[in-house]
């Protein structure tokens, strides 16, 4: 009965039945929402993001304001120094929020940089195939073996600790795995039966890309993006901890942890709160990433 | 096999050369040289200093001179310590860094493979969940948090171990190495126990293990003699990434515990813009990582009969 349809009618039929059925993403969303750790992480991360971006505007203390008479006060309700104050007499709660904001910004921007480079590189290699693909992936293999963080450090040393440079440099380090994933997906999808079936059914090139290629590449990419953000946050904090990252008056969680580690014998709260905030953030991203992976690719469990 | 080794070496040598070249020209791109002080220097003195360090030559000549020096094992003079060469600085720090690194990887391999095997053999029990939970924590918490916290709690509050530094008379003693080695090893223990768990689970489900049990071998003999052997294969290919992670981690560890290793000198040099030291360390680390990756691949190929040398 299907064989009596003309190709264009048939593709319409495919289109309709796909819309009526449960899509890949509905399924994935349902599985994700059943994952308690991932849902809890999303809620906590939502609160953290809100606090980091809106909190500094509402909080009673400015992150840079110095109270000379309130140096290294332990956490107290007096004057709302709930996280205490640091060695300069600045409110630790305000500073932790601002530091978290910087870390999240670096995480998102640097991951976006790595996403762009990785997708373009991987898709080009996978799409062109043959010799070009071989050379491009050989380059990725070689770069994999290099200690990239050292090149980021050289960049920081040579060009000064510029915030934009940190974003781009860290992003430029983390694109290799992304390129591999995208290339692998592109190659395997090109020869997939359902893509051939869609072609045979007369679906247009644009429709194939929209309905079949993009959703299938998107899954692993989204998962990997969620798992790259914490890695990038860690890389920035590593640099800042060594004094090679974000510079005063800007601050990040890595900076705060470094200062806290310096003062920890007399003021352990200056280490505890930034460290706890960072760990909470990293846990959230990891649980969400794992949950997404299980949800999007159930056969991997 | 020999052809495979030769091909791998043929790739490794240019890779090291690329590292050297990129590092060299990045340094030369720097706006402002290492001798720029707050006060303006008389032009004649500046020129004399530049000439003394060979910086008045054209860049390509400096590059070739540097390469020629490298072949002789000469990494050039430090720009900040007038009486020291880069090679001196590296060889002072190397014993400390190498000791910490080797002890950490040994500890990580032992603890990680045992934990991973236990988790795999008792899959879905509380022991398994304990190991997986520990591994997640170990991977997520960075060394620059674990280090200060350990040194604060164990070193200062409890007073069980020194919180940092080396005794100048005794050098590296066990009590002063425990905390740094544990901190550096923790993430690797976590990763290795995950890898081990996954590969062990796969191995004990395979047919030859069932055969070994069927022919009446005891449980431990099957695990130790048959399962372990192929389960550690993924660990071998992890040697390369582990080396990179340890070298990066050691920079933080040496900073946190004030140990006089290469990592600490590297950070100091980076903050002081001592270009030649920074470059020397990067070249050393890159060569080490490339070499260890090569060794890991060769070892993997030697241990795994399924690998084809193409």
Residue A6: band (very low, low, confident or very high) from pLDDT cuts 50, 70, 90: very low
Give the pLDDT score at A1: 38
Pairwise CA distance, residues B34 & B31, whole Å? 10
Dig out the tokens for B240 from the structure.
């390369």
Give the pLDDT score at B73: 74
The residues that bridge with B85 in the sheet, in sequence order, are B77
* A261·B141 Cβ contact <8 A: no
What mean pLDDT comes out for the span A212-218? 77
**Would you call B225 exposed, middle or buried from its count of C-beta atoms within 10 A (0-12, 13-18, 19+)?**
exposed
Range 207-266 of A in CB contact (< 8 A) with B: 230, 234, 237-238, 241-244, 254, 257-258, 260-261, 264-265
Closest partner residue to A286 among B11, B29, B140, by Cβ? B140
* pLDDT at residue A165 is higher than 70: yes
Give the pLDDT score at A3: 44
Pairwise CA distance, residues A154 & A146, whole Å? 14
CA atoms within 13 A of residue A136's CA, in its CB half-sphere? 23
Dig out the tokens for A47 from the structure.
């609160």
B140 touches chain A (CB under 8 A): yes
Q: Which of B145, B155, B248, B252 would you mutate first to test chain A, the one with the most A CBs within 10 A? A: B145
Give the pLDDT score at A46: 92
Kindly list the residues from chain B whose CB atom is less than 8 angstroms away from the CB atom of residue A230.
140
Pairwise CA distance, residues A168 & A162, whole Å? 10
Range 187-246 of B in CB contact (< 8 A) with A: 240, 244
Kindly list the residues from chain B whose CB atom is less than 8 angstroms away from the CB atom of residue A156.
270
The predicted-structure confidence for A225-259, as pLDDT tens digits, reads as follows: 888 888 888 888 888 888 888 887 788 888 888 88
Kindly list the residues from chain A whose CB atom is less than 8 angstroms away from the CB atom of residue B136.
286
Nearest CA in chain A to B282: A150
pLDDT, mean over chain A: 79
Dig out the tokens for A290 from the structure.
């794992």
Kindly list the residues from chain A whose CB atom is less than 8 angstroms away from the CB atom of residue B240.
145
* A147·B140 Cβ contact <8 A: no
Give the pLDDT score at A20: 56
Range 126-155 of A in CB contact (< 8 A) with B: 142, 145-147, 149-151, 153-155
Closest partner residue to A268 among B15, B152, B293, by Cβ? B152
The predicted-structure confidence for A41-80, as pLDDT tens digits, reads as follows: 899 999 989 988 888 888 877 777 777 777 777 777 777 7
Closest partner residue to B140 among A244, A261, A282, by Cβ? A282
B141 touches chain A (CB under 8 A): yes
CA angle A154/A160/A165 to nearest 5° reads 80
How far A194 CA sits from the closest chain B CA (Å)? 31
Give the pLDDT score at B309: 58
Residue A208 CB contacts under 8 Å (≥ 6 apart), including other chains: A195, A198, A199
Pairwise CA distance, residues B204 & B136, whole Å? 23
Closest partner residue to B290 among A145, A230, A261, by Cβ? A145
Kindly list the residues from chain A whose CB atom is less than 8 angstroms away from the CB atom of residue B101.
none
Pairwise CA distance, residues B280 & B23, whole Å? 9
Q: What are the Cα distances from residue B53, in Å, to A5, A249, B59, B78, B175?
A: 81, 36, 13, 10, 43
* pLDDT at residue A268 is higher than 50: yes
Closest partner residue to A242 among B142, B149, B251, by Cβ? B251
Residue B17 CB contacts under 8 Å (≥ 6 apart), including other chains: none
Residue A20 CB contacts under 8 Å (≥ 6 apart), including other chains: none
Residue B109 CB contacts under 8 Å (≥ 6 apart), including other chains: B192, B235
Per-residue exposure over A107-130, b if at least 16 CB sit within 10 Å of its own CB, e if not: bbbbbbbbbebbbebbbbbbeeee
B251 touches chain A (CB under 8 A): yes
Q: Could you give the percent of chain A with pLDDT greater than 70? A: 89
State the complex-level ipTM: 0.77
Q: Which of B9, B241, B270, B283 would you mutate first to test chain A, the one with the most A CBs within 10 A? A: B270
Residue A266 CB contacts under 8 Å (≥ 6 apart), including other chains: A72
Is residue B138 a contact partner of residue B189, using CB atoms and an 8 Å limit?
Answer: yes
* B26·A268 Cβ contact <8 A: no
In tens digits, chain B (310 residues) has pLDDT values of 777 778 778 877 888 888 888 878 877 776 555 565 555 667 777 677 767 666 667 777 888 888 888 887 777 777 777 777 777 888 888 888 888 888 998 899 889 888 888 888 887 788 888 888 888 888 888 888 888 888 888 777 777 777 766 666 666 677 778 888 888 889 889 988 888 888 888 888 888 888 888 887 777 777 777 787 788 888 887 887 788 788 888 888 888 888 888 888 888 887 777 778 888 888 888 888 888 888 888 888 777 776 665 5
Q: Tokens 């990785």 belong to which residue?
A: A118
Dig out the tokens for A161 from the structure.
């600790």
The predicted-structure confidence for A20-44, as pLDDT tens digits, reads as follows: 556 667 777 888 888 788 888 899 9
Residue A7: band (very low, low, confident or very high) from pLDDT cuts 50, 70, 90: very low
Closest partner residue to B271 among A155, A243, A257, by Cβ? A243
Pairwise CA distance, residues A219 & A188, whole Å? 14
The predicted-structure confidence for A140-151, as pLDDT tens digits, reads as follows: 877 776 777 777
């Amino acid at each position: 009965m299907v064989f009596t349809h003309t190709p264009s009618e048939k593709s319409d039929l495919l289109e309709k039945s796909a819309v009526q059925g449960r899509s890949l993403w509905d399924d994935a969303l349902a599985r994700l929402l059943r994952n308690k750790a991932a849902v809890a992480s999303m809620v906590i991360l939502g609160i953290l993001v809100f606090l980091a971006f809106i909190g500094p505007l509402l909080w009673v203390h400015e992150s840079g304001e110095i109270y000379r008479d309130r140096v290294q006060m332990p956490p107290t309700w007096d004057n709302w120094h709930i996280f205490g104050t640091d060695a300069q007499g600045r409110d630790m709660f305000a500073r932790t929020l601002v530091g978290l904001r910087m870390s999240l910004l670096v995480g998102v921007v640097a991951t976006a940089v790595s996403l762009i480079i990785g997708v373009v590189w991987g898709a080009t290699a996978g799409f062109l195939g043959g010799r070009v693909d071989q050379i491009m992936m050989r380059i990725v293999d070689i770069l994999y073996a290099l200690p990239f963080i050292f090149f980021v450090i050289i960049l920081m040393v040579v060009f000064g600790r510029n915030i934009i440079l940190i974003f781009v440099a860290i992003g430029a380090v983390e694109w290799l795995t992304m390129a591999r994933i995208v290339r692998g997906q592109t190659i395997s999808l090109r020869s997939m039966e359902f893509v051939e079936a869609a072609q045979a059914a007369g679906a247009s090139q644009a429709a194939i890309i929209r309905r079949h290629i993009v959703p299938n590449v998107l899954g692993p990419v989204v998962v990997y993006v969620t798992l790259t953000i914490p890695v990038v946050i860690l890389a920035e904090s590593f640099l800042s901890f060594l004094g090679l990252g974000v510079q005063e008056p800007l601050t990040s969680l890595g900076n705060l942890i470094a200062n806290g580690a310096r003062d920890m014998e007399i003021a352990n709260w200056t280490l505890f709160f930034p460290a706890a905030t960072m760990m909470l953030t990293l846990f959230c991203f990891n649980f969400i990433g794992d949950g997404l992976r299980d949800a999007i690719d159930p056969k991997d469990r | 096999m020999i052809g495979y080794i030769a091909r791998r070496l043929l790739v490794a040598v240019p890779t090291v050369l690329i590292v050297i070249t990129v590092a060299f020209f990045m340094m030369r791109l720097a706006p402002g040289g290492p001798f720029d002080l707050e006060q303006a220097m008389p032009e004649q003195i500046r020129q004399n200093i530049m000439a003394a360090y060979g910086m008045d030559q054209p860049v390509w000549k400096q590059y070739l001179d540097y390469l020629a020096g490298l072949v002789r094992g000469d990494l050039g003079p430090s720009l900040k310590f007038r009486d020291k060469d880069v090679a001196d600085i590296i060889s002072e720090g190397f014993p400390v860094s190498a000791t910490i690194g080797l002890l950490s990887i040994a500890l990580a391999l032992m603890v990680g493979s045992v934990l991973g095997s236990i988790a795999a053999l008792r899959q879905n029990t509380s022991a398994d969940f304990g190991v997986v939970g520990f591994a997640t924590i170990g991977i997520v918490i960075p060394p620059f948090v674990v280090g200060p916290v350990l040194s604060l709690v164990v070193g200062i509050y409890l007073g069980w171990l020194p919180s940092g530094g080396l005794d100048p008379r005794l050098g590296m003693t066990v009590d002063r190495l425990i905390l740094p080695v544990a901190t550096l090893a923790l993430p690797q223990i976590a990763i290795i126990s995950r890898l081990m768990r996954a590969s062990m689970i796969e191995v004990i489900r395979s047919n030859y293990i069932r055969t070994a049990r069927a022919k009446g071998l005891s449980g431990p003999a099957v695990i130790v003699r048959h399962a372990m052997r192929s389960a550690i294969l993924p660990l071998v290919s992890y040697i390369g990434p582990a080396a990179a992670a340890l070298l990066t981690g050691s920079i933080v560890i040496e900073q946190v515990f004030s140990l006089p290793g290469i990592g600490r000198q590297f950070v100091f040099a980076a903050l002081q813009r001592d270009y030649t030291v920074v470059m020397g360390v990067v070249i050393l680390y890159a060569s080490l990582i490339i070499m260890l990756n090569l060794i890991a691949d060769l070892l993997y190929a030697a241990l795994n009969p399924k690998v084809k040398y193409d």
